[in-house]
Amino acid sequence: MRKPKLRELREAVKAFVKGPYTTKFPKVPSIPPETFRGKPKYDEEGCVGCGACAQVCPSAAIELIDERGKGPTGTRRLVLHYDLCHFCGQCEANCITEEGIKLSLEYDLATYDRRETVESVEKELLFCEFCGAPVTAVDHLRWLARKLGPLAFSNQALILVSHKELALVEKTAPRDKRPVWRTDYMRILCPKCRREVIYTEEWGT
């Protein structure tokens, strides 16, 4: 019994002389290691709005909100609620550009208002010219076209987006009210309507 008591006393004197082992946070900020997984942050330039991060997030912390604007385009917003995030890093690991979202070193995230705990990015969104379903973000198609190089010319949406970027196509061609047909081939279409164009073209049904 006597020995442990002496040891504790020695530890207490040592701690009194050397000072506490714990950090002085929040008075003095604590510096996390480089591999620390803190608040995920979007990078406006690096993100192309594909939505893969929202799909892989295991805690459903990322909302994907598609809204139609006045013209043929709209807005895709990715809203990350970091009060739901458990900092697993899946969004960063699965980001198609590897630069769209990264876990930062920020750890002091306490707040009285959970509505403040959001991180978001906004991208221009394209809709199917026939049925109006959202297709994907313009930046996503541009990124794919650049990534595929000449192979991108096998996909009509990629051709159109690349041509628009080069100002070779200025605006969307008008269309009449008849069902989707061969002349709609060179349009921005959702997968379902593109299938319809191809079936109609091949089998006439």
Residue 2 to residue 12: CA distance in whole angstroms = 16
Decide whether 61 or 157 has the Cβ nearer to ligand SF4: 61
The reply to whether 135 sits near ligand SF4 by the rule CB under 6 A is no
Interface size with ligand SF4, residues (CB under 6 A):
28
141 binds ligand SF4 (CB under 6 A): no
Among 73, 90, 104, 117, binds ligand SF4 (CB under 6 A): 90
Tokens of 3: 């020995």
Binding span for ligand SF4 by CB under 6 A among 4-12, 15-23, 52-60, 176-184: 52-60
> Judged by CB, which is closer to ligand SF4: 87, or 181?
87
Strands (E) located in 90-188: 101-103, 118-127, 134-137
Binding to ligand SF4 by residue 89, rule CB under 6 A? yes
Pick the binder of ligand SF4 from 10, 86, 147, 192 (CB under 6 A). Answer: 86
Q: How far is the CB of 63 from ligand SF4 (least distance, A)?
A: 11
Give which of 163, 195, 152 is closest to 173, Cα–Cα: 163
| Binding-site member from 79, 88, 159, 186 for ligand SF4 (CB under 6 A) | 88
62 Cβ contact partners less than 8 Å away, ≥ 6 residues apart: 53, 54, 78, 79, 80, 81, 91
Residue 167 Cβ, how far from ligand SF4 at the closest point, in Å?
25
- What span, in angstroms and rounded, lies between the C-alpha atoms of 143 and 149? 10
**By the rule CB under 6 A, 125 interacts with ligand SF4:** no
Taking the C-alpha atoms of residue 116 and residue 109, their distance in angstroms, rounded to an integer, is: 10
Q: Please, which residue, 88 or 186, has the CB nearer to ligand SF4?
A: 88
Spatial CB neighbours of 81, under 8 Å, sequence gap ≥ 6? 61, 62, 63, 117, 118
Q: In the complex, which residues of this chain contact ligand SF4 (CB under 6 A)?
A: 40, 42, 47-53, 57-59, 61-62, 78, 80, 85-91, 95-97, 100-101
